[in-house]
């Protein structure tokens, strides 16, 4: 497989976080572009940091999962959108 780490490249991009107060206190955070990514914290900054960590883990896991099934001659390349 050729190219750099997919997860590392995606994390460098800009995503949209939605952070809102949690009913029990603190804040919840989700990412519009990454289904399943969520975070929480006592402050907005903590919720954002927790969300960033969750996104990195999701992308790393997806890359590892997909990479297991790729043939050795598969080409991995950057793709810009927008």
Quick one: pLDDT at residue 2?
45
Question: Are 29 and 50 in contact, with CB atoms under 8 Å apart?
Answer: yes
Domain ranges of the chain: 15-67
One pLDDT digit (tens) per residue for the chain, 82 residues: 444 444 544 546 789 999 999 999 999 999 999 999 999 999 999 999 999 999 999 999 998 999 898 999 999 888 887 7
pTM of the shown model: 0.76
């Amino acid at each position: 497989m050729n190219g750099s780490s997919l997860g590392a490249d995606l994390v460098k991009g800009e995503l949209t976080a939605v952070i809102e107060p949690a009913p029990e206190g603190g804040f919840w955070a989700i990412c519009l572009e990454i289904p399943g990514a969520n975070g929480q914290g006592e402050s907005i900054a903590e919720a954002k940091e927790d969300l960033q960590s969750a996104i990195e883990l999701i992308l790393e896991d997806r890359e590892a999962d997909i990479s297991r099934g790729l043939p050795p001659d598969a080409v991995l390349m950057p793709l810009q959108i927008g």
